[in-house]
Every structure is written in structure tokens, then in C-alpha cells.
Amino acid sequence: MSEVSRIGIVGAGMGGIAAAALLQRAGFDVILFDQSPAFSRLGAGIQFGPNVMKILRRLDLEAPLEAMSCLPDYWMSRKWDDGEVLAAIPLNAERERYHAPYITIHRGDLQQKMLEAVATDRVRFGRKLVTFHDDGQAVSLEFEDGTRDKVDILIAADGINSRIREILFGQEEPVYTGWLAHRAIIPGAVARDVGADLNAKWWSEDRHIVCYYLDRALDEFYLVTGEPGEWTSAGGQMSSTRDALRESFRGYHPMVQAYIDATEDVTKWPLKTREPLPVWHRGRVVLLGDSCHPMKPHMAQGAAMAVEDAAVLTRCLTVLGTDDLDATFRRYHALRKDRATKVQSISNANTWLRAPEDPFWCYGDDVYDMTI
Ligand code: FAD
């Protein structure tokens, strides 16, 4: 293999973008493909803990993201009807303990900022991977638009419906968990008027609603639910209504009702998962993020795990090199599997921070402390 390997990454989600930026900085020749025709600003929020921010610091993104985001002091868990505090978990209130901020931000703004860390001439939108062939020397890629490419290493960052995973390990559909998520963004003024927490999760027995601001100025406020429901459509996202949200959260605290009353554009998403995958690579092809460990989103750590994978994979390729890829990828898997599987199982169980607990093992982690 040549001194500087040419690495193809399929999927420009958080994991793929992080991998592209980190590998470029490590000196690799990287090319990032995505099926979408262009970058689009998905209407949703995201939380990134200190464990991810310490990685984004290496891309000079920590300070600009911090300047744009809301910095919640606590994660508040509240009882659905009377608002009783079930847990108040310090986030930025204990920032010095974590050595990095905990941010909440618009997903589109985050993705756009992360993309700026990747050389623009190495990003190819409108490239849907149809198939690939690993002949032991290189990996040939074929895209739906008829174009082809050839890389030394292929990274699958193509999400829960990964085509690459399917080709490597056989077809196995992700499983609908019986839960869906409603999402909506409302004006921040509505939340400020009722004295909203910066970041709160309201829990009842079989459902919850998570509510947080998306920016430093508190101009936008985000609602995302987890609730049982039927899902019959084959697609990934559908439009929904304020009435459907009202129905699902009937009897919830007046503060939650005020948020729901202010919703306009409401969407719903199926929450799907898969069993942990025992192997994350074959030949010259390696998986990261949701392609190998998708989860229900209830720990707000799915994208975080994808970015951590990207950082550890970059370190393994840098430190261990590319001459014995099987050894390099086995080490990457060994370093990641326990943490990713633990987060996947707690997230799926939806127990995270419902009652007082110390989240340091998750947020306090720094993948750069790890011995490769
Ligand atoms: P994805 O983000 O799914 O990206 C995959 C990319 O691959 C896409 O851009 C897609 O277009 C592309 N692609 C797919 N197939 C092909 C193909 N054949 N050819 C070319 N391109 C292809 N995580 C957090 O860390 N914090 C949160 O607060 C949080 N909240 C969430 C809330 C909800 C309701 C949900 C559903 C998830 C949430 N998550 C959160 C989880 C997070 O969204 C995912 O874990 C994360 O997006 C996975 O990143 P990824 O890069 O592995 O894949």
C-alpha cells in the first residue's frame, strides 16, 4: 500500500464528517461521499457532551461551537405532571470537572460547522453507493449515478440502513422498537416566558419529552419525544401534527402544554435499532457509528459514539499504520466495542439520568488518553 493511503468514507453524517476531518489532519488522502444532492439543514436539535467536544477541539471547532450553542447548566429530569425534580445532573455547572463544555445546538448548524473542517474539494454530494468490490489490493466503488472510484480503505459511515454493512455481512433489516419520536422547534420566547429549564426531560411511565434551547441567544427551543406508537411506513420520517403531540402528552405539566401549543411544523421518526454487531471490519472495509451500533436516542450519545469511533479509528490508523489492516481494525474494535455496546444498551433501556447518578464515565471520557 502507498505511504499515504487513499481513504473513501461513505456517509457525511456526524461520524463520516468527523472521520474525514480527523484523517485529513493526520495526513491521509480522504474523499467523503454522500447520497444527498447537497448539504441540507435538518430541522432538529442535538446535544453534544464534553466527551465529543474534546475531540472537536482537535479540529478547532470547540470554541466556535461553544459560541453558537446553548450551554445548559444542568440536565433536569422532571416528573411529567407536577414538574417535581427527579434528578438535577450538573453539566456546565461542573464544567471544570469535565474539561470541556456540554452543548445543545441546531443539528444543521453543527453539521455545517463540522463540514467546514473538511477540505471542500474532497467532498462529493450526490453519490449514492450501490456496491463495492474489495479485491485485497484496493476497494472499487460504484455509485448510482454511474460514476466509479477506487480507494485503499473504505469506511462505512452510512448510518443505520448501511448498504456497506449489508454487502459485508448480509441483509438484516433494522428493527422498529415500537417507539417513535416527535420533533418540533418553537420560538425561544415561548420557553423563556414560562421559565423553561435550559435542558429538561419530562418523564412519565411509558413516554417522555426532552426540551432544550438551540442557540446562545435562546432564540430557538427544541422538543423531541420518545413514545410508543405504530409505524407502518417504510420511510424514515413523516409529517405529524400539533394535535398528535397534544394527544400523546395529555395531562403533562402546563409548561409542556405551552410548548406544544406553540408548535407549527411537527415531524415524527421511527426509532429503530439492531443487535450489537460482533465484527466491525472485513478486509479493507471498516464500519463506524450507526452502521455498526445504532441505538434508540435516549442517552443523546448516538452521534457522539460515531465521532468517538472516528477519533479512535484515526488514531489506530496513524499509530499502527496500514500495512496490517486486519490488526489495525481489530485494535480499533477492541478499543471501542465495550463502550459503544454499554451506551447502546443504556440508551435502548431509556434509564439514563432519570434518577440521580454520576455520568462521569460517559462525559468525562477522553479518547486521546487511551493507549493505542
Ligand atoms: P448518520 O448521521 O445516519 O449519517 C449517515 C449518512 O450516510 C447520511 O448522511 C446518509 O445520507 C449517508 N448515506 C446512507 N447511505 C448511503 C449510500 N448508500 N451512499 C452514500 N451515502 C449514504 N445523538 C447524539 O449524539 N446526541 C443527540 O442529542 C441525539 N439526538 C437524537 C434524537 C433523535 C430523535 C434521533 C433519531 C437520534 C439522535 N441521536 C443523537 C443519534 C444520532 O442522530 C445518530 O446516532 C447519528 O446521526 C449517527 O451518525 P452516523 O454518522 O453514524 O450516521
pLDDT in tens, 234-276: 878 899 999 999 999 999 999 999 999 999 999 999 999 988 8
Q: How sure is the predictor about 134, in pLDDT bands with cuts at 50, 70 and 90? A: very high
Region label for 307, one of left (φ > 0), alpha (ψ between -120 and 50) or beta (otherwise): alpha
**Quick one: pLDDT at residue 305?**
98
| Phi, psi angles (nearest 5°) of residue 238 | -135, 155
Tell me, in angstroms, the distance from the centre of ligand 1 to residue 158's CA.
8
H-helix segments, 237-359 = 242-248, 254-261, 302-320, 325-349
Tell me, in angstroms, the distance from the centre of ligand 1 to residue 163's CA.
14
Nearest to 81 by CA among 224, 257, 239, 221: 257
Q: Is 46 in the pocket of ligand 1 (CB under 6 A)?
A: yes
**Quick one: pLDDT at residue 3?**
56
Q: How sure is the predictor about 42, in pLDDT bands with cuts at 50, 70 and 90? A: confident
As a whole-number percent, the residues of the chain with pLDDT over 70 amount to 99
Nearest CA residue ID for atom 18, ligand 1: 129
Nearest CA residue ID for atom 46, ligand 1: 303
Q: Is 19 in the pocket of ligand 1 (CB under 6 A)?
A: no
pLDDT tens-place string over residues 163-188: 999 999 998 889 999 999 999 999 99
Is 104 in a helix, a strand, or coil?
Answer: strand
The stretch 155-166 carries a mean pLDDT of 97
What is the spatial distance between Cα 213 and Cα 274, in angstroms, rounded to a whole number?
Answer: 30
- The cell for 208 is 417522555
- The cell for 112 is 455545517
The stretch 98-122 carries a mean pLDDT of 97
Flag whether the ipTM exceeds 0.95.
Answer: yes
The stretch 83-89 carries a mean pLDDT of 98
Q: Is 31 in the pocket of ligand 1 (CB under 6 A)?
A: no
Q: Is 8 in the pocket of ligand 1 (CB under 6 A)?
A: no
**Quick one: pLDDT at residue 50?**
98
Q: Is 289 in the pocket of ligand 1 (CB under 6 A)?
A: yes
Please, what is the Cα angle at 52 between 19 and 31, to 5 degrees?
10
- The cell for 172 is 438484516
Tell me, in angstroms, the distance from the centre of ligand 1 to residue 161's CA.
10
Tell me, in angstroms, the distance from the centre of ligand 1 to residue 291's CA.
9
What is the 8-class DSSP label of residue 231?
-
Tell me, in angstroms, the distance from the centre of ligand 1 to residue 159's CA.
5
Instruction: Evaluate whether the domain defined by 176-194+206-273 bears CATH number 3.90.1200.10.
Output: no
Please spell the DSSP secondary structure of 128-157, one letter per residue: -EEEEEE-SS-EEEEETTS-EEEESEEEE-
Tell me, in angstroms, the distance from the centre of ligand 1 to residue 8's CA.
18
Asked if 6-41+118-173+275-369 and 176-194+206-273 have one fold, the answer is: no
Nearest to 332 by CA among 314, 351, 354: 314
Global pTM reads: 0.97
Nearest CA residue ID for atom 34, ligand 1: 181
What is the number of alpha carbons within 13 Å of residue 369 lying toward its C-beta?
A: 5
Tell me, in angstroms, the distance from the centre of ligand 1 to residue 42's CA.
11
pLDDT tens-place string over residues 196-226: 999 999 999 999 999 999 999 999 999 999 9
Tell me, in angstroms, the distance from the centre of ligand 1 to residue 109's CA.
15
Q: Is 229 in the pocket of ligand 1 (CB under 6 A)?
A: no
What is the spatial distance between Cα 20 and Cα 11, in angstroms, rounded to a whole number?
Answer: 10
What is the spatial distance between Cα 257 and Cα 333, in angstroms, rounded to a whole number?
Answer: 45
Lowest mean pLDDT among 2-16, 128-142, 314-328, 357-371: 2-16
Tell me, in angstroms, the distance from the centre of ligand 1 to residue 64's CA.
22
**Quick one: pLDDT at residue 2?**
45
Domain-by-domain residue ranges, the chain? 6-41+118-173+275-369, 176-194+206-273
Quickly count helices (H) and strands (E) in the chain.
Answer: 12, 19
Q: Is 9 in the pocket of ligand 1 (CB under 6 A)?
A: no
pLDDT tens-place string over residues 307-366: 999 999 999 999 999 999 999 999 999 999 999 999 999 999 999 999 999 999 999 999
Q: Is 34 in the pocket of ligand 1 (CB under 6 A)?
A: yes
The stretch 65-87 carries a mean pLDDT of 98
Tell me, in angstroms, the distance from the centre of ligand 1 to residue 11's CA.
9
Residues 292 and 16: beta-carbon distance below 8 Å: no
Instruction: Evaluate whether the domain defined by 6-41+118-173+275-369 bears CATH number 1.10.287.130.
Output: no
Per the prediction, the chain carries an average pLDDT of: 96
Nearest CA residue ID for atom 35, ligand 1: 297
Q: Which amino acid is at 343?
A: V
Nearest CA residue ID for atom 10, ligand 1: 11
Question: 208-213 and 220-228: which strand pairing?
Answer: antiparallel
Is residue 278 predicted with pLDDT exceeding 60?
Answer: yes
Please spell the DSSP secondary structure of 150-168, one letter per residue: EESEEEE---TT-HHHHHH
Q: Is 199 in the pocket of ligand 1 (CB under 6 A)?
A: no
What is the spatial distance between Cα 130 and Cα 139, in angstroms, rounded to a whole number?
Answer: 13
Is 67 in a helix, a strand, or coil?
Answer: helix
